[in-house]
Amino acid sequence: MKVLVVGGGGREHAIIKKIKENKEVSEIYALPGNGGIAADATCVDVGAKDIDGIVKFAVENKIDYAIVAPDDPLVLGAVDALEEKGIPCFGPRANAAIIEGSKVFSKDLMKKYGIPTATYEVFTDMEAALKYLDTAPIPTVIKADGLALGKGVVIAETREAAKDAVKSMMQDKVFGKSGDQIVIEEFLTGPEVSVLSFTDGKVVVPMISSMDHKRAGDNDTGLNTGGMGTVAPNPYYTDDVAEVCMNTIFKPTIDAMNAEGRTFKGCLYFGLMLTPNGPKVIEYNCRFGDPETQVVLPLLESDLLTVMRAVTDGKLAETEVKFSDKNACCVVMASKGYPTSYEKGFELAIPAEISNNVYVAGALVKDGNLLTNGGRVLGATAVEDTLENAVKSAYRLVEKIHFDNAFYRHDIGARALKAKER
Residues that bind ligand GLY (CB under 6 A): 150, 212, 227, 285, 289-290, 292
Number of residues that bind ligand AMP (CB under 6 A): 15
Please return the burial class of 184, using the count of CB atoms within 10 Å of its CB with bins 0-12, 13-18 and 19+.
Answer: buried
Q: What is the DSSP string of 289-318?
A: -TTTHHHHGGGB-S-HHHHHHHHHHT-GGG
Q: Which one of ligand AMP, ligand GLY, none interacts with residue 141, CB within 5 to 8 A by kind? A: ligand AMP
CA distance 58 to 41: 15
Going by the DSSP 8-state scheme, the letter that residue 323 receives in this structure is B
Residue 169 lies near ligand AMP (rule: CB under 6 A): no
* Cβ atoms of residues 193 and 142 within 8 Å: no
Residue 105 lies near ligand AMP (rule: CB under 6 A): no
Q: Which one of ligand GLY, ligand AMP, none interacts with residue 192, CB within 5 to 8 A by kind? A: ligand AMP
Question: Of 34 and 319, which has the nearer Cβ to ligand GLY?
Answer: 34
Q: For residue 246, which of 258, 235, 254 has the smallest C-alpha distance?
A: 254
Q: Which one of ligand AMP, ligand GLY, none interacts with residue 164, CB within 5 to 8 A by kind? A: none
- Which one among 59, 128, 155, 349 touches ligand AMP, defined by CB under 6 A? 155
CA distances from 136 to 119, 149, 157, 166 (A): 12, 27, 12, 13
Residue 187 lies near ligand AMP (rule: CB under 6 A): yes
* Cβ atoms of residues 147 and 76 within 8 Å: no
Residue 217 lies near ligand AMP (rule: CB under 6 A): no
Q: Where are the alpha helices (DSSP H) in 114-231?
A: 126-133, 159-170
Residue 223 lies near ligand AMP (rule: CB under 6 A): no
Query: For 97, what's the count of Cα atoms within 13 Å in the CB-facing half-sphere?
Result: 24
Q: Which one of ligand GLY, ligand AMP, none interacts with residue 193, CB within 5 to 8 A by kind? A: none
Question: Of 77 and 150, which has the nearer Cβ to ligand GLY?
Answer: 150
Sequence-distant (≥ 6) Cβ neighbours of residue 379 within 8 angstroms: 10, 229, 291, 294, 330, 331, 332, 333, 358, 359, 361
Question: Of 149 and 259, which has the nearer Cβ to ligand GLY?
Answer: 149
Angle between helices 414-421 and 387-399 (to 10 degrees): 160
Smallest distance, ligand AMP to C-beta of residue 79, A:
22
Residue 191 lies near ligand AMP (rule: CB under 6 A): no
> Taking the CB of residue 47, how many other CB atoms lie within 10 A of it?
14
Question: Of 37 and 282, which has the nearer Cβ to ligand AMP?
Answer: 282
Residue 286 lies near ligand AMP (rule: CB under 6 A): no
Q: Where are the alpha helices (DSSP H) in 329-401?
A: 387-399
Give the binding range for ligand AMP (CB under 6 A) out of 39-47, 75-83, 149-157, 329-337.
149-157
Residue 193 lies near ligand AMP (rule: CB under 6 A): no
End-to-end Cα distance, the chain: 48
- Which one among 51, 231, 274, 282 touches ligand AMP, defined by CB under 6 A? 282
Q: For residue 166, which of 224, 108, 123, 102 has the smallest C-alpha distance?
A: 123
- Which one among 64, 192, 218, 220 touches ligand AMP, defined by CB under 6 A? 192
Smallest distance, ligand AMP to C-beta of residue 400, A:
30
Q: Which one of ligand GLY, ligand AMP, none interacts with residue 227, CB within 5 to 8 A by kind? A: ligand GLY
- Which one among 12, 40, 200, 283 touches ligand AMP, defined by CB under 6 A? 283
> Taking the CB of residue 368, how many other CB atoms lie within 10 A of it?
5
Smallest distance, ligand AMP to C-beta of residue 328, A:
20
Site of interaction with ligand AMP (CB under 6 A) = 118, 141, 150, 153, 155, 185-188, 192, 214, 224, 271, 282-283
